Amino acid sequence: GNSVTQMEGPVTLSEEAFLTINCTYTATGYPSLFWYVQYPGEGLQLLLKATKADDKGSNKGFEATYRKETTSFHLEKGSVQVSDSAVYFCALNNNDMRFGAGTRLTVKP
């Protein structure tokens, strides 16, 4: 079946540090891949997505590349800010939406 595995948190970084949150998936066919972000007390917001292999999704300085050969969609940001503190969810849609467990990121000033 379809599934997503993302790195466990929590992740704590200093402001301006480089961020990577790993995400790998299992799926048949050609799923679309997503990163959602959940700020404290809020619902999930779409951060970025990629719909086919080698696509790069990007938004607000975050980016992730759809790697079919490694079945991965790792989230990266070159310089995090305190305002990036949130829970990040990797997800796939293969006509059946599946979410990872979430990774909590805390950025300290």
Partner 1 sequence: DVKVTQSSRYLVKRTGEKVFLECVQDMDHENMFWYRQDPGLGLRLIYFSYDVKMKEKGDIPEGYSVSREKKERFSLILESASTNQTSMYLCASSSGWGAGDTQYFGPGTRLTVL
Interface ranges with partner 1 (CB under 8 A) = 4, 29-32, 34, 36, 41-46, 49, 51, 89, 93-95, 97, 99-102
Closest distance to partner 1 from the beta carbon of 5 (Å): 10
Question: Residue with structure tokens 């975050």?
Answer: 62
Residue 74: CB minimum distance to partner 1, A: 17
Nearer residue to partner 1 within complex by CB, 58 or 94: 94
Buried b (16+ CB within 10 A) or exposed e, 60-69: eebbbbbbee
- Ramachandran sector of residue 69 (left: φ over 0; alpha: ψ -120 to 50; beta: rest): alpha
Query: Cβ of residue 82: shortest distance to partner 1, in angstroms?
Result: 22
